[in-house]
């Protein structure tokens, strides 16, 4: 009798799976050496400069940019789903109170799970492509409402009900502040949101796809992605970049502050990226937006950027280190009136669309993501000691 044995070939991978190709995607790509990234076949920065958030959302979910008629229809479809189910609305005060010290992003994990349960989200393995798309749209439309409600409840304020006559970005600002948003600031926030919808197989996107590969429901996939995003090494840097500007304080302190940090080997928040070896194209666009507003804060940020690069060139020759998206994202969001504790949640309000596109793509493949680990502990067999 012949016995067939499956032999697993172990392939050593670099720490963090850096550079390892794990699947194929049509959602988008990041070309780090070129300083370029795209959503499907379009430059992401060009999309941010020329299209609405809803149009790019349509592109990610449906695979094509909409014409005027489809754009209007999709905008109306998504706006109609911003209002939360009664059961979710009723539970938010308790969620906000329980997570008072953690902030809206932590509350979003609980709220998304509850939304999925009340909306009857089923495992993506058990539903067709249209139902999966519908579930992602419902979840994405609700995320800004959940985040702003949790933020306001945490500050002792009543949530602001969403408006269907405002764009995704303008409605987000309206629900956050309770005031009619300034069009220039709403457009600046919209451009930031578009620029951060997707960015390759980052930790949160990969997490969403791993969960989707198990066949779990959309809410479970998004909840896992939010958990990954909450880590300070992933989504928590925009406010920390502003903290850097605050710590420096004045132009006269720029050089000594930077030199001290560089020589100590400390990380300067808002600089450097795991993929880009050139200037981050998102930072370039956001710098342009910031310069459009102008003012002392912007001038100071530009000077800090210039001196960091100059000092690094002097002290660390040959090392390419430029501003990443977080540096000017923090400046722009501050100019647009967003509180710092909402910087990363605002990032999540954009990235949820990219996560959803990746979930939909992964759900079409029934193969579960199941890598292996190389065991390096004590070798068995070791006798089990007697109890007691």
Q: Catalytic site residues? A: 273, 326
28 phi, psi to nearest 5 deg: 175, 180
| CA–CA separation, 216 and 220 (whole Å) | 6
CA atoms within 13 A on the CB side of 202: 26
> Which residue from 174, 175, 228 is spatially nearest to 347, judged by alpha carbons?
228
Q: Sort 43 into a burial class: Cβ within 10 Å, 0-12 / 13-18 / 19+.
A: middle
What gap in Å lies between CA 238 and CA 264, rounded to an integer?
A: 22
| Tokens read off for 40 | 């499907």
DSSP string, 296-362: HHHHHHHHHHHHHHHHHHHHSTT----B-HHHHHHHHHHHTT--GGGHHHHHHHHHHHHHHHHHHHH
Report helix, strand or coil for 275.
Answer: coil
| Tokens read off for 135 | 């579930």
Extended beta strands in the chain, E state? 28-31, 36-39, 42-43
Task: List C-alpha distances in Å: 157 to 24, 90, 98.
Answer: 45, 15, 16
Separation CA 290–CA 302 (nearest Å): 10
What is the rounded CA–CA span in Å between residue 133 and residue 158? 31
Could you check whether the bond before residue 381 is cis, i.e. omega within 30 degrees of 0?
yes
Distance between CA atoms of residues 217 and 376, nearest Å? 35
- Which is it for strands 42-43 and 28-31: parallel, antiparallel or unpaired? unpaired
């Amino acid at each position: 009798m012949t016995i067939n044995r499956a032999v697993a070939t172990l392939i050593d991978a670099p720490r963090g799976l850096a550079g390892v190709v794990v699947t194929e995607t049509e959602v988008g790509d990041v070309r780090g050496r070129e300083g370029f990234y795209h959503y499907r076949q379009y430059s992401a920065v060009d999309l941010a400069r020329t299209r609405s958030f809803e149009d790019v959302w349509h592109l990610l979910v449906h695979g094509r940019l909409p014409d005027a008629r489809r754009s209007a229809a999709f905008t109306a479809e998504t706006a109609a789903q911003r209002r939360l189910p009664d059961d979710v609305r009723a539970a938010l005060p308790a969620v906000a109170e329980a997570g008072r010290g953690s902030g809206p992003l932590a509350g979003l994990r609980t709220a998304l799970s509850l939304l999925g349960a009340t909306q009857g989200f089923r495992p993506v393995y058990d539903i067709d492509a249209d139902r999966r798309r519908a579930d992602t749209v419902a979840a994405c439309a609700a995320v800004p409402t959940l985040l702003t409600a949790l933020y306001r409840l945490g500050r002792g304020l009543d949530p602001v009900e969403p408006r269907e006559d405002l764009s995704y970005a303008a409605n987000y600002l309206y629900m956050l502040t309770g005031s009619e948003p300034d069009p220039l600031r709403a457009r600046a926030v919209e451009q930031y949101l578009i620029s951060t919808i997707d960015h390759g197989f980052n930790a949160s996107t990969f997490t969403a796809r791993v969960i989707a590969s198990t066949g779990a429901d959309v809410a479970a996939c998004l909840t896992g992605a939010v958990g990954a995003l909450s880590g300070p090494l992933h989504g928590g840097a925009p406010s920390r970049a502003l903290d850097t500007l605050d710590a420096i304080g004045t132009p006269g302190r720029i050089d000594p502050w930077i030199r001290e940090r560089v020589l100590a080997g400390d990380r300067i928040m808002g600089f450097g990226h795991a993929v880009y070896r050139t200037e981050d194209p998102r930072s370039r666009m956001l710098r342009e937006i910031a310069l459009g507003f102008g003012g002392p804060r912007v001038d100071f940020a530009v000077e800090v950027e210039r001196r960091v690069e100059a000092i690094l060139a002097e002290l660390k020759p040959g090392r390419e280190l430029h501003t990443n998206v977080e540096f000017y994202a923090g400046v722009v969001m501050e100019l647009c009136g967003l509180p710092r504790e909402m910087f990363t949640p605002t990032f999540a309000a954009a990235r949820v669309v990219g996560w959803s596109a990746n979930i939909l793509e992964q759900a079409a493949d029934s193969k579960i993501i199941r890598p292996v680990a190389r065991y390096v502990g004590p070798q068995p067999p070791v006798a089990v000691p007697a109890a007691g």
